[in-house]
Structure 1
Amino acid sequence: MSTLMLASEIGKRPVVTLSGEAVAQVKDIVFESGAGRVAGFTLSGRGMFSGPKRHALPWTAVTALGSHAVMVRDEAAFETRKEVVDRGEAGGGDVLGSRVLTDAGTDVGKVTDVVIEVTATTAAVAGYQVASSEALGRQERTVYVPLAETVAVSGEALVIPAAATDFVADDLPGFAGMVQAFRAHLQET
């Protein structure tokens, strides 16, 4: 079973040990370059005046990513910030604000968030929340576009297969079915 969540909702989520102690909070998500999987999280302290922590949390040490907290066995799970961040280097960069173009050259909107699919063992990008353009017939509405296995990403644009526009959802709960349908479509073609 998998759960879809927005990357923006994971930020500031507490990191809690299995003994119930809140030891940090998520500052940012580190994605593996090229793979689209979550490599880990950079962390900050829990207080109002707490800054970034020197250590980070690798995905392999996460026991659960729930709707209210990131669970870890204990603080021994942390690694240096550099070790975790280096796993995400050489990627396509930050996609927020990037134009979404189909491989046929149609502009479908701008990325406003990343949709992450969380399973018991992995967390990976499933698609994007997009402020749609006129081309989708839903101008200036928020929609969800599924991610293909291979996608081109630069600092300016995200290129998706034109077929992805047939699997756009208007809300996150409805998006789960569209992701599965899009994946099935890709396997058929």
Structure 2
Amino acid sequence: MTRLMRARELIGMAVVTLDGDDIADVKDVVFDGDTGHVRGFTLNGRGLLAGPLDKGLPAGAVSGVGRDAVMAESPSATVALEDIVPRARTRDSDVLGDHVLTETGTDLGAVADVILEVAPGGVADVVGYEIVSSAALYPDGRHVLLPLPHTVAASGEAVVVPSEAVRFVRHDLSEFASAITAFRHRREEEREEGDSRGQGGGGDAVQ
């Protein structure tokens, strides 16, 4: 069974091997801005005085995410940092603070956190953002949860989402899973309707 969690809940969490060895702490969660798939984690060394490590933990080497630790297959599961955060994408890898815009140009607010879908075998996808709402959404600047489609347009300065995503904004994680499903189902219906209209138009032209 999957569950939803905020990315910040993982920051500082211990990375532990299946043999029980603590090998690092989670520094950041890295995901592909186009697909939403989690690439892996950058790491800090263990201990108060330890700094960032020059290696990361790929998502494929994560065997589970618990309440207190990220489970890695083995100490050798870590890879070069470049394999987690390619230098060409470093500027686009941090969405915190980015503005979220609709396709029609409405500014919905700024990203405060990333909502992850955690599967039994590890972290799977980014499924939404927690945003500090703009006046266009809520004038009091409250934190709300915004679902994302399967693909996301992220430029490194802004994130563009379908305008209809606003209809599925929620205020609590307990309500958010159903909102994500409903939003994506609606997107799929619209895509199929568009395909059907396209096919129909083609048939008319042939006749």
Q: Which residue of 1 aligns with 2:185?
A: 184
Q: How far 1:26 sits from its partner (Å)?
A: 0.6
Q: Deviations over 1:33-86 (max 9, x none)?
A: 522111111111111111122322111111002222100122021112222222
Q: Deviations over 1:95-125 (max 9, x none)?
A: 2111111112222111111111122355211
Q: Of Structure 1 and Structure 2, which has the larger fraction of its residues in helix?
A: 2
Partners of 2:59 and 2:151 in 1: CA distance:
22
Q: How far 1:7 sits from its partner (Å)?
A: 1.2
Q: Give the TM-score, by structure 2 length.
A: 0.83
Q: Which residue of 2 aligns with 1:74?
A: 74
Which runs of 4 or more aligned residues in structure 1 lie more than 6 Å from their structure 2 counterparts after TM superposition? none
Partners of 1:175 and 1:38 in 2: CA distance:
19
Give the SS at the match of 1:135. coil
Q: How far 1:134 sits from its partner (Å)?
A: 2.3
- The residue type paired with residue 112 of structure 2 is T
Check conservation: 1:146, 1:178, Cα contact below 8 A. Answer: yes
Check conservation: 2:16, 2:22, Cα contact below 8 A. Answer: yes
Q: Give the TM-score, by structure 1 length.
A: 0.91
Q: Which residue of 2 aligns with 1:22?
A: 22
Which sections of structure 1, spanning at least 5 residues, go unmatched?
none
**Greater shift after overlay, 160-169 or 29-38?**
29-38
Partners of 2:84 and 2:158 in 1: CA distance:
26
Q: Which residue of 2 aligns with 1:172?
A: 173
CA RMSD of aligned residues (A): 2.0
Check conservation: 2:17, 2:71, Cα contact below 8 A. Answer: yes
How many residue pairs were aligned?
A: 189
Kindly tell me: are residues 64 and 151 of structure 1, through their superposed partners in 2, closer, same or farther at Cα, counting changes over 3 Å? same
Check conservation: 1:33, 1:90, Cα contact below 8 A. Answer: no
Which sections of structure 2, spanning at least 5 residues, go unmatched?
191-207
Q: How far 1:21 sits from its partner (Å)?
A: 1.9
Check conservation: 2:34, 2:153, Cα contact below 8 A. Answer: no
Q: Which residue of 2 aligns with 1:145?
A: 146
Kindly tell me: are residues 151 and 59 of structure 1, through their superposed partners in 2, closer, same or farther at Cα, counting changes over 3 Å? closer
Kindly tell me: are residues 29 and 137 of structure 1, through their superposed partners in 2, closer, same or farther at Cα, counting changes over 3 Å? closer
Check conservation: 1:33, 1:89, Cα contact below 8 A. Answer: no
The sequence identity of aligned pairs, in percent, is 46
Q: Which residue of 1 aligns with 2:97?
A: 97
Give the SS at the match of 2:67. coil
Partners of 1:136 and 1:178 in 2: CA distance:
17
